[in-house]
Structures are given as structure tokens and as C-alpha cells.
Amino acid sequence: MNELAQNHCHSVRRRLLRGALTSAKVSSRFSGKGSWPMSEAMSSPAPRRQQLSVNDYVAGIRAGDRTILARAITLVESDSRRHEAQAQEVLQHLLPFTGRAKRVGITGVPGVGKSTFIEFLGCLLVERGQKLAVLTIDPTSSRSGGSILGDKTRMERLCQLPAAFIRPTPSGLSLGGVARRTRETMLLCEAAGFDTILVETVGVGQTEIALRALVDFFLLLLLPGSGDELQGIKKGIVEMADLVAINKADGENKLRAELAKQDQAAALHYLQPATSEWPTEVVLCAGLTGEGLPEIWQRVEKFYRELEPKGVIARRRREQSLAWLSDLIHDELKRRFYRDARVKSHLSAMQQAVLRGEITAVLAAESLLATHQECHSGSTGPEK
């Protein structure tokens, strides 16, 4: 890290520390340990959090400051248009320092032991000298909008390691929102110097489609004898996987795990591989004991060693970037359409007309789109 960035980061940290000390003094006065009169304490405004500039964010992230990285992630997750503008400026400055990390997605049915698996694997990678970021896509609380599961509490040993960083991302209501928040968080972590990024989803569903579009390598965890082969998830998810691992393959589960491995391997013969020039295999592992995990990571490293020189990973990332651009345009056009005042004034009437059978859904949609287009046909600038 260059000396200028480090000095700037130290300056920011000193300002944040002064703000924390001020907060502590105010707290002390309120608790009766100080000498301020109660009336003065009650009238004193609460200390505000130190606002960071774009340069503060960029220098802090490049210096590997965890506090500033966490605040930058909060910034990109914000729904505020003002925050979004600053977040995009930060990302634009950091873009030249991204793209150098291994991006690995991990998913599986609920109860398969993803957190235990990731914690053991993460500790193993950190011991080998790697800087690891774990990003988890969690279900969202309908009340607070925050993550429900809290992976830091489920990966207690891993989050204590200085070279590991764990951050949950609430899934929200939009699949596009999941992809956008996680992708931008991933870029921030890469700019902060993390060379390995694991992205975990809570279960098998629509978020796995978004996850496949974010990562290079996609790992699917299954349980032995859980009946996964009978669920609709099998073909749709397995055909996206670069490796299938039967987890909890220890103790009394060993025999069932071997049978599940044979079944999954047989099914793979009828599916196209997720990545060209890379055969999807089935392996056994036990996240609790670590059995089979070093071999799984060897498989991941082989994936990069063989396919990176051929340009397969670079091509996948280019395709992902173009698909992301298309999704963002789609999401923004949809947002602008539903926020259009004239569309809002006509939407309810059109919906009722469709329900009464007075107009087809296609004609109603065309009418609303025409209303939106007329409203904005004279506007050339972005929406305020």
C-alpha cells in the first residue's frame, strides 16, 4: 500500500476516534459520572457520526481498513439516491483494483451445514496465508429490512481471524437487488485486498440464479439420503454447479453418502457441464471434521489453474458484466415507470378494467407505456 493512502487512512481513523471519544464523554455525563448539569446534558445534541468523503472511502479501503470497508458496504446497500451517487463514485475510483480474487459461490438446501463447511474451509484458507471475505445472502426481516440469520454468530471461530471478513447481505424483495448489492460488495472487498471471496446463499431458490451470475466457480452442497433427487431443485441447480459435494458424509451417514454420490454422478451424465472444458464431479465431505475439504479446495484451484490461461474465466466475467448492465437498465426503467405520476394516476383504473374484462392485459400495458413515453418524450436528462 502506498504511503499517501496509509497516511490518509490514519487521518480518517483519528477523526473517527475523536468522534467516538466525544460520544463516550457524552455518555459519561448522562450516567452521572461527570459534572454537567442535567439541563445542559439534556440540551446537548447527540454526537453525529463522522461523514466520510469519497477520498476517505477510497484511501481507507485500499489501506485495508475494516471499519471503512464496512461503512462503504452499508453505503452501497442504501436505497437513498444520494448515497447511491456517492457509492458509485467510490466504486468508479476503485475499479482498477478489482477482479483479482477467486470468486466462489456456495449453496445448498437448508440444514446442509453450509456455515460449518464455510467456517472450516475459511480457517483452512487463512492458515494457508489467504485473505478471505465471506459474503452471505440472508433472508430479510419484513420489519427492519435486515438480515435474519446472522452468520457472524454462526462462524464464531472464523470471524475472530484477522485475515477473514464476514458480511451478511439482506436479500430484500428484489432478485436484482440481491445481485447488485452482492456484486458491489464483492468489488469493494477485492479493492481492499481480499484474494478469495466466498458467496453463500441460505437455500436453494431464485437467489442461486443470481449467485451463478456473480461467481466463477459454483459449489453445491447436498445431504446424504435427504431425498434431494426427488425435488425439482435437482436438475435446475445441479446443472449450474461446477462441483457437487455430499456433506455430513461421516459416521452413520457414510453408506448413505456413498449411495447419494453414485446417484448424483449418474444424473450428471445426462446434463451439460456448467463450464465448458470442465467436468462436474461429485465428492464426499464432512464440514464438521474437515474431511474432504482440502481436496475440494484443490479442485477449485485446479479449476482456475486450467481454465484461466484459456480465457474461460475472463470470458465468463465479461458475459456476467454485460448481463448485469442489461439487468440494471431493466430495473431502472421499471423503477421510473412505476414512479411516473401520470402512470400512477391511470394504473388503478387500467387494472380494474382488466379485471372486469373490458380490455386485454396487452392493450392495457401498451396504453400505460404510451402514457409514460408521452410524459418523458420531451425530457433528455436523467430523472431527478
- Tens of pLDDT, residues 123-181: 999 999 999 999 988 655 434 444 444 455 578 899 899 999 999 876 554 555 566 78
Which of 70, 90, 109 is the last residue in one of the domains?
70
Shared domain for 223 and 267, answered yes or no, is yes
Instruction: Classify the C-alpha dihedral 213-217-220-221 as positive or negative.
Output: negative
The verdict on residue 293 lying in a domain is: yes
Mean pLDDT of the region 108-118: 89
Residue 107 pLDDT > 60: yes
What does the alpha-carbon distance between residue 180 and residue 226 come to, in Å, rounded to a whole number? 33
Partners of 196 in the β-ladder: 102, 132
The verdict on residue 57 lying in a domain is: yes
Instruction: Classify the C-alpha dihedral 274-195-209-315 as positive or negative.
Output: negative
The verdict on residue 331 lying in a domain is: no
The verdict on residue 287 lying in a domain is: yes
Which cell numbers hold the place of 180? Answer: 447488485
What does the alpha-carbon distance between residue 284 and residue 279 come to, in Å, rounded to a whole number? 16
What does the alpha-carbon distance between residue 11 and residue 52 come to, in Å, rounded to a whole number? 11
Which cell numbers hold the place of 249? Answer: 458424509
Residue 24: domain span: 3-70
* Average of per-residue pLDDT values in the chain: 82
Mean pLDDT of the region 71-93: 93
Number of structural domains (the chain) is 3
Mean pLDDT of the region 308-329: 94
pTM of the model: 0.81
Shared domain for 312 and 362, answered yes or no, is no
DSSP character at residue 358: S
Shared domain for 55 and 130, answered yes or no, is no
Asked if 119 and 106 count as a contact pair (C-beta separation under 8 A), the reply is no
The predicted pLDDT at position 269 comes to 85
DSSP alpha helices (H): ranges in the chain? 3-30, 38-43, 54-62, 66-77, 81-94, 114-127, 151-154, 156-159, 175-191, 206-212, 233-238, 254-268, 293-307, 312-339, 341-355, 361-376
Shared domain for 367 and 314, answered yes or no, is no
The predicted pLDDT at position 111 comes to 85
Shared domain for 294 and 361, answered yes or no, is no
Shared domain for 187 and 257, answered yes or no, is yes
Shared domain for 103 and 180, answered yes or no, is yes
Mean pLDDT of the region 210-236: 75
Which cell numbers hold the place of 227? Answer: 431425498
Shared domain for 205 and 316, answered yes or no, is yes
Asked if 211 and 199 count as a contact pair (C-beta separation under 8 A), the reply is yes
User: How buried is 43 (Cβ within 10 angstroms: 0-12 exposed, 13-18 middle, 19+ buried)?
Assistant: exposed
Nearest of 111, 155, 110, 107 to residue 133 by alpha carbon = 155
- Residues 184-218: pLDDT tens digits? 999 999 999 999 999 998 665 667 778 888 999 99
Shared domain for 15 and 142, answered yes or no, is no
